[in-house]
């Protein structure tokens, strides 16, 4: 079923869309950015020209010209009486990948496969015959794997038993299941700002009203604003990533974790903590899991970032009571986690310290290489060096990251602009750059960015309102 985008929603997603180009071209380009970075999906129906012109306070002629430009460039199909539908050129021709035509794809912050992955799968294949008498529908996870995941929490200072663990088909599946279990229609969900885009996608799909509190590189999490939102709006849940936050790379202090956990407990808001990046430490050192602060915290994890994105194994750690609620809701979405992947994950969990150490060395190399390249070629950009994670969150000063994304794509470089990580078009002057690629790829990517920096400018300054005489 095609998604219909209202004029009000599109106006909100567009954010600061005007540039030095003619208005119709600027509008068309920003809609292209929204399509390419996933905020708008291929197949989505755009609002009628009249509706969008009213939402943006533009002439209908300007909107019609923008739609015409999108059709001309192959990003829009229009049928009289049926409206205008977005499309990604090339996908219908069977090209591979989500971003056809790119020679460098920096749209994903994900690592290459861990060198021990092939051995883990080989071990899984040798173990599989022992499980073939099993019916294959595993709703909670293999006992040995759940025990291994529980032990990994205990090793980090949080005693955990296997019956507090549910194995899922990746962390995104885990988040979806938790959100559908906790959320009821009409409630609010609190998120960080900026935040992981697909978390917002999940909450939006539920129809939730999303509230946000800031995460700033200079000062970290704005806990006073978070507390204010919790007290005023009583959100059913709050989603956060306190370890090597995506996209900023920041980590929340132990004192701040305890403060936020206590505030959420007082007001009845369930904290859902995403630990998918928690083991990607480069130079910070270990911290206890945030769930140490409260028994009500739900923790999400996976092997996707540390082992390989193609290994779709995640987990949910929670109280036993919450596990029972999750299990009741799970059959509506899926019928369990594949056994072969669980067996491979078990072998990897038994090798977790070595895997984390190996990944840390690779990420240090990538981080330091990218930081040095940016200081050499783009010294005007503000670059803060994170202690872990997979990417840099860069302040591009006056440069529009959406305009840069469009220009870079024409050069074969895929990027995700800052507004993809915010709400209502925020972070237009920010860019996430992953450092989990080879030195050659990082060097080529920075060279493209450097060559474009003189061509891509900022949005024109806002002119002061003048009195009408």
End-to-end CA distance of the chain: 51
Q: In this predicted structure, what is the pLDDT of residue 365?
A: 97
- Round to whole Å and give the CA distance between 6 and 306: 39
Q: In this predicted structure, what is the pLDDT of residue 80?
A: 77
Residues 177 and 296 in one domain: yes
Domain that holds residue 88: 7-93
Whichever domain contains 422, its CATH number is 3.90.1150.10
Q: In this predicted structure, what is the pLDDT of residue 90?
A: 56
* Domain final position from 332, 352, 372: 352
Q: Yes or no: say if 235 and 189 are a contact pair by the CB < 8 Å rule.
A: yes
Q: In this predicted structure, what is the pLDDT of residue 33?
A: 83
Residues in the chain with pLDDT values less than 50? 1, 91-98, 459-469
Residue 313, domain member (yes or no): yes
Residues 367 and 281 in one domain: no
Residue 79, domain member (yes or no): yes
Q: In this predicted structure, what is the pLDDT of residue 464?
A: 31
Residue 468, domain member (yes or no): no
- Round to whole Å and give the CA distance between 356 and 361: 9
Residues 172 and 251 in one domain: yes
Q: Yes or no: say if 386 and 378 are a contact pair by the CB < 8 Å rule.
A: no
Residues 330 and 186 in one domain: yes
* Domain final position from 333, 352, 371: 352
Please write the tens of the pLDDT for every residue from 357-373.
Answer: 999 999 999 999 999 99
- Within 153-257, strands assigned E span 165-168, 188-193, 209-216, 220-221, 237-240
């Amino acid at each position: 079923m095609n998604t219909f985008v209202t004029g009000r929603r599109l106006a909100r997603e567009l954010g600061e869309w005007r540039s030095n180009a003619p208005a119709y071209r600027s509008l068309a380009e920003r809609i292209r950015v929204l399509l390419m970075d996933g905020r708008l999906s291929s197949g989505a129906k755009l609002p009628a020209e009249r509706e969008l012109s009213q939402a943006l306070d533009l002439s209908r002629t300007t909107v019609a010209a923008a739609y015409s430009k999108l059709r001309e460039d192959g990003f829009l199909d229009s049928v009289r009486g049926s409206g205008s539908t977005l499309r990604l050129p090339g996908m219908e021709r069977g090209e591979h990948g989500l971003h056809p035509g790119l020679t460098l794809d920096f749209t994903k912050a994900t690592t290459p496969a861990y060198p021990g992955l092939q051995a883990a799968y080989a071990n899984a294949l040798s173990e599989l015959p022992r499980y073939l008498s099993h019916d294959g529908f595993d709703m909670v996870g293999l006992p040995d794997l759940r025990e291994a995941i529980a032990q990994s929490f205990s090793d980090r200072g949080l005693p955990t038993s296997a019956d507090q663990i549910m194995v899922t088909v990746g962390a995104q599946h885990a988040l979806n299941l938790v959100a559908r279990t906790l959320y009821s229609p009409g409630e609010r969900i609190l998120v960080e700002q900026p935040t992981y885009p697909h978390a917002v996608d999940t909450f939006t799909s539920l129809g939730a009203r999303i509230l946000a509190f800031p995460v700033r590189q200079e000062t970290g999490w704005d806990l006073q604003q978070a507390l204010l939102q919790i007290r005023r709006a009583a959100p059913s849940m709050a989603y956060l990533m306190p370890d090597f936050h995506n996209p900023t790379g920041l980590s929340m202090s132990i004192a701040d974790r305890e403060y936020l956990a206590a505030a959420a407990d007082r007001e009845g808001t369930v904290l859902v903590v995403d630990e998918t990046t928690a083991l990607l430490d480069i130079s910070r050192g270990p911290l206890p899991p945030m769930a140490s602060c409260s028994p009500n915290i739900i923790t999400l994890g996976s092997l996707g970032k540390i082992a390989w994105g193609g290994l779709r194994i995640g987990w949910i750690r929670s109280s036993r009571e919450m596990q029972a609620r999750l299990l009741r809701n799970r059959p509506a979405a899926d019928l369990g986690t594949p056994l072969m992947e669980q067996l491979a994950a078990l072998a990897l969990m038994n090798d977790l310290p070595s895997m984390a150490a190996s990944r840390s060395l690779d990420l240090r190399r990538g981080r330091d290489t990218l930081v040095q390249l940016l200081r050499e070629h783009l010294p005007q950009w503000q670059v803060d060096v994170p202690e872990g994670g997979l990417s840099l969150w860069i302040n591009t000063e006056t440069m529009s990251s959406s305009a840069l994304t469009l220009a870079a794509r024409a050069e074969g470089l895929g990027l995700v602009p800052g507004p993809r990580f915010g709400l209502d078009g925020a972070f237009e002057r920010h860019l996430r750059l992953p450092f989990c690629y080879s030195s050659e790829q990082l060097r080529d990517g920075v060279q493209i960015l450097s060559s474009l920096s003189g061509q891509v400018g900022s949005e024109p300054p806002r002119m002061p309102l003048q009195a009408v005489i």
